[in-house]
Amino acid sequence: MAEKRVKSPTAKQIEQALETMRALGYKIEPPSAELDSAKQEASIVKLGFKGRKAKVIPESTKQLKCNLGFAQTLGGTTYGPGEVVLEANQVSLLRTLVHQDQLTRAQYYDTAQYQPYSRCFIIQPGRSGDSHHRYSKVEVTEAAFNGPAFLSSPTITTGKFDIAGYNPGSTNHPTMEL
């Protein structure tokens, strides 16, 4: 259901409302900084606050700490690995270091050095010629996968393109010799 649009009151309607409130005994004054500060002082007295102020910690003693997993170099300075302590005014440097450390960690976990049991697969023609078993995935060793025998083997083609999108009949590609 569509909502009705509420119109803003006109200046005449506001004036009428103020006159009605004055007639009922309400005191209406325009806002001022002097009245606000007087009300705040009266409120402090009523609540019983003492003249003590909160203890202010100097900015120079505030420190930011983080723990980096890898060494990060920014502006010729190396931070980490381990705990890094920075002044409070270097928040942007801390955020940059933490972000860079997260990227480094993700990249490290993505490498084969981290994965002790990396697995390599090749796709080759399947055992039968039906449409469901046309190709099969076979696990091979990493040495066989990166070896010259694998690179010299023919590629599997589907239609006019091989798996990598290489079109052997096209003249718009650089020649590839193995």
3-state SS class at 148: helix
Alpha carbon of residue 108 to chain centroid: 19
pLDDT interval class at 151 (50, 70, 90): low
Domain ranges within the chain, ordered by starting residue: 61-109, 120-162
| pLDDT tens by residue, 45-94 | 888 877 777 777 666 678 899 999 989 888 888 998 999 999 888 899 99
Q: Are 47 and 34 in contact (CB under 8 A)?
A: no
pLDDT interval class at 16 (50, 70, 90): very high
121, 120, 67: which is closest to 97 by C-alpha?
Answer: 67
| pLDDT tens by residue, 27-37 | 887 778 888 88
Assess whether pLDDT exceeds 90 at residue 144. no
3-state SS class at 38: helix
Q: What is the mean pLDDT of residues 122-145?
A: 71
